[in-house]
Amino acid sequence: MSAALVTGASAGIGRAFAHALAARGSDVTLVARDGARLAALAEELHRTHGIAAEPLAADLLTAGGLAAVSTRLGDPQRPVDLLVNNAGVGTIGRFADVELPRQVDEVELNVVALVRLTHAALRVMQPRRAGAIVNVSSIAAFQPSPDSAIYSATKAFVNSFTHAVHEEMRGSGVHVMLLCPGFTHTEFHARAGLGPTALPELVWQSADEVVAAALRDLDRGRALSIPGPLNRVAAAFASVAPAGVSRRVARVVVRRVGRQETMPT
């Protein structure tokens, strides 16, 4: 039986990954800060699917939290076959106006924690010549996003980093995939205190749709998964459009999403 570790597992895309992987018969280690919520999810997954579900409460913005998850990834007695690096946070607001510590935490979680956990997983997967890693990014990574400057920049790092490591792992038996969802119905907005957005429903997907597409692409050995045709078009446009055009379009979109400062994912 395979085993997976999912960060940011208590809600949204992470929770959807946990359910989908458990339905496939995979044991799961669930990582997030909310221990009570993780314990309830673990019990639900075990009861529904008969798999082993381990709640691991950890704050990835702390050295202790990162060490606990890295230790779990490196446990030779309980090897992890799939790491889903999903934990992340976003901010909305002009860079100069949003409190700097919040934005530094955004870099620490979206970039540093992801890099550390990817490294910890690879140190164990490489000698086994088996395993997979999914790094969750965003279509925001494909263009600079005024009013969400740090978020899009951290996701651009995740894109470049994951593509490079994917190539390094070619032929090693370890598969590394980048997942870039677009607008997804999760608790992202509600937890941030954001009201309804002005974006039409057709641009949105459910977390289950995102995860189903991601797992299909992982099974096919893809390097990149962009769920939904509209998101693929948007990413392609942003990749070829002049920077002046793409950043203005991105600013309009971000302002339609909401005007509060923080959007935890």
Would you state the structure tokens that stand for residue 112, as one six-digit string? 């540093």
C-alpha to C-alpha distance for 199 and 208, rounded to whole angstroms: 20
Token pair 């870099």 is at which residue? 107
Are the CB atoms for 139 and 203 separated by under 8 Å?
A: no
If you write DSSP's letter for every residue of 84-95 in order, what string do you get? EE---EEE-S-T
C-alpha to C-alpha distance for 129 and 176, rounded to whole angstroms: 13
Are the CB atoms for 104 and 113 separated by under 8 Å?
A: no
- Catalytically active residues are 151
Are the CB atoms for 27 and 51 separated by under 8 Å?
A: yes
